[in-house]
């Protein structure tokens, strides 16, 4: 998994910019004598080539800069990079953008705010990126907002949910208007999605009471607030709730409390601690020859369960667990979903993770508006994206208006079931393979919820 700064290690974002107000992309590109050298990803993660020369020396190329956590090893960053590469391949096969070839340059943020800023500067100032996409850790995106404003360059977020970014756009539009969130939905709407699932599905799957757990990272703050305010309006009773330490790697005591509270299920919000939480639910580390799973169901926002090969990685321990995602390899949110999934599989021999879908859509969205306007100039593209309605692999992509509190965030519309994400359950097919069956919303369902057999 990606490594992130927990609450105690967050980096404060300066209010007055980056401290580099005297240097921006435009001035550097005018004065650079042609010495920028970077690593470019052209279509495939395994095919790197060195590109020499500044961006204004190569006017026949449109450069997409991707910010991803550890793209050569981390499953989130890996999927983001490969998904962007698929999009770039498709664009080049179709003639590029406005007749220009498209190249992808990948930068490793290492899940660090400071490294994210350094890599952003490299993409823009050295590689001459025409747009940047990506970022995953909320702290990393927060650290970039003043950089994005300073460079006046379009950035399409495809992994971070923090509403910090949209608040900046709302509060100081002219400065921060270059930021758009293609996905995921912001942290407030992320919480709303869980409430909607609980309202519609809890009675159907037999969850009368739940234990609400969330890791104590900043990304989970807003969902937690939503849970506190709105779960009481759903059909379930909250038997207990707990924010637990980011350092938690043994959930035995927590799960003992859940069992004592009599909860039907753990409803968890976990990214960094998800696998430990899963294993201690499914195969608790107890001194018995045949460990007994915990006496409750398990699911929620669980980032590791979004990994398409998680069943194999956990040797089936995730079976019966449920998770939330933009899409799955079996879902068909729009016709473009399976087109992307199959191309990704043909190229990589595997399926994309959640943030890969958003990254693919971001690159394609940028290409569409650039083709519509005939330019990649950010100033020209901002109003076009604001008015855009784009159909992508993750559904219909539109953005909240500039006067909305979540300005330039992806719209979450309960009446448009292509915008609400999907809940899936890890199940086993007839061949003994793990599959993610979509169980909500009904219009996208590929299967039905299966109660863990030890709870029947």
What is the reported pLDDT for 54?
Answer: 35
What is the reported pLDDT for 138?
Answer: 87
For the four alpha carbons of 332, 335, 340 and 341, in that order, the dihedral sign comes to positive
The predicted model scores a pTM of 0.84
Q: What is the DSSP string of 57-107?
A: G-TTEEEEEEEESSTTT-HHHHHHHHHHHHHHHHHHHTT-BTTBEEEEEEE
What is the reported pLDDT for 284?
Answer: 73
Domains 7-184+335-397 and 188-325+421-455 share a fold: yes
Distances from the Cα of 325 to the Cαs of 322, 343, 353, 419, in angstroms? 10, 19, 9, 11
Contact 297, 265 (CB under 8 A): yes
What is the reported pLDDT for 33?
Answer: 28
Superfamily (CATH) of domain 188-325+421-455: Response regulator (3.40.50.2300)
Residue 62 makes CB contacts below 8 A (sequence gap 6+) with: 96, 97, 98, 100, 101, 102, 103, 130, 370, 376
Q: How, if at all, do strands 265-270 and 297-302 pair?
A: parallel
What is the reported pLDDT for 59?
Answer: 60
Residue 38 in tokens: 């970077």
Residue 320 and residue 148: Cα distance in Å, rounded?
Answer: 42
Residue 81 and residue 63: Cα distance in Å, rounded?
Answer: 14
Number of neighbours of residue 424 by Cβ within 10 angstroms: 30
152: which DSSP letter? T
Hey, where are the domains in the chain? 7-184+335-397, 188-325+421-455
What is the reported pLDDT for 30?
Answer: 29
Which of the residues in the chain have pLDDT under 50?
A: 1-58
7-184+335-397: CATH topology: Rossmann fold (3.40.50)
Contact 84, 360 (CB under 8 A): yes
> Beta partners for 225?
none
What is the reported pLDDT for 60?
Answer: 83
What is the reported pLDDT for 181?
Answer: 98
Number of H helices and number of E strands within the chain?
14, 16
What is the reported pLDDT for 287?
Answer: 52
Residue 151 makes CB contacts below 8 A (sequence gap 6+) with: 24, 25, 124, 178
């Amino acid at each position: 998994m990606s490594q992130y700064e927990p609450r105690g290690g967050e980096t404060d974002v300066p209010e007055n910019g980056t401290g580099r107000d005297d240097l921006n992309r435009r001035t550097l590109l005018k004065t650079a004598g042609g010495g920028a050298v970077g690593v470019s990803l052209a279509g495939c993660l395994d095919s790197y080539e060195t590109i020499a020369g500044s961006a204004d020396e190569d006017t026949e190329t449109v450069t997409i800069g991707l910010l991803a956590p550890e793209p050569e090893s981390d499953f989130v960053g890996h999927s983001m990079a490969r998904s962007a590469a698929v999009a770039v391949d498709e664009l080049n096969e179709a003639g590029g953008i406005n007749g220009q070839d498209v190249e992808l340059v990948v930068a490793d943020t290492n899940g660090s705010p400071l490294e994210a800023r350094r890599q952003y500067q490299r993409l823009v100032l050295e590689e001459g990126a025409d747009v940047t996409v990506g970022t995953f850790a909320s702290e990393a995106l927060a650290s970039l907002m003043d950089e994005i404003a300073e460079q006046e360059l379009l950035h399409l977020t495809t992994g971070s949910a923090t509403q910090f970014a949209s608040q900046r756009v709302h509060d100081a539009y002219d400065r921060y208007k270059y930021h758009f969130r293609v996905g995921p939905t912001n942290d407030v709407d992320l919480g709303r999605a869980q409430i909607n699932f609980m309202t519609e599905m809890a009675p159907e799957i037999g969850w009368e009471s739940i234990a609400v757990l969330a890791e104590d990272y900043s990304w989970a703050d807003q969902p937690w607030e939503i849970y506190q305010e709105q779960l009481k309006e759903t059909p379930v009773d909250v038997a207990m709730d707990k924010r637990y330490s980011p350092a938690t790697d043994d959930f035995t005591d927590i799960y003992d409390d859940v069992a004592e509270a009599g909860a039907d299920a753990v409803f968890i919000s976990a990214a960094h601690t998800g696998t430990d939480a899963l294993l201690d639910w499914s195969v608790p580390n107890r001194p018995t020859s045949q460990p007994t799973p915990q006496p409750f169901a398990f699911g929620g926002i669980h980032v590791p369960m979004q990994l398409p090969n998680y069943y194999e990685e956990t040797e089936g321990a995730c079976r019966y667990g449920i998770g939330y995602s933009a899409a799955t390899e079996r879902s068909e949110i729009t016709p473009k979903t399976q087109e992307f999934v199959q191309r990704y599989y043909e190229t990589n021999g595997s399926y994309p993770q959640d943030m890969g879908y958003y990254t693919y859509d971001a690159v394609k969205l940028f290409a569409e508006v650039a083709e519509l306007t005939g330019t990649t100039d950010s100033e020209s593209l901002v109003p076009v994206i604001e008015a855009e309605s784009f159909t992508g692999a993750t559904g219909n992509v539109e953005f909240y208006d500039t006067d909305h509190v979540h300005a330039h965030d992806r719209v979450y519309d309960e009446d448009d079931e292509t915008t609400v994400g999907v809940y899936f359950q890890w199940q086993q097919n007839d061949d003994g393979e793990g599959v993610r069956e979509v169980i909500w919303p009904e219009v996208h369902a590929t299967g039905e919820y299966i109660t863990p057999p030890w709870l029947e």
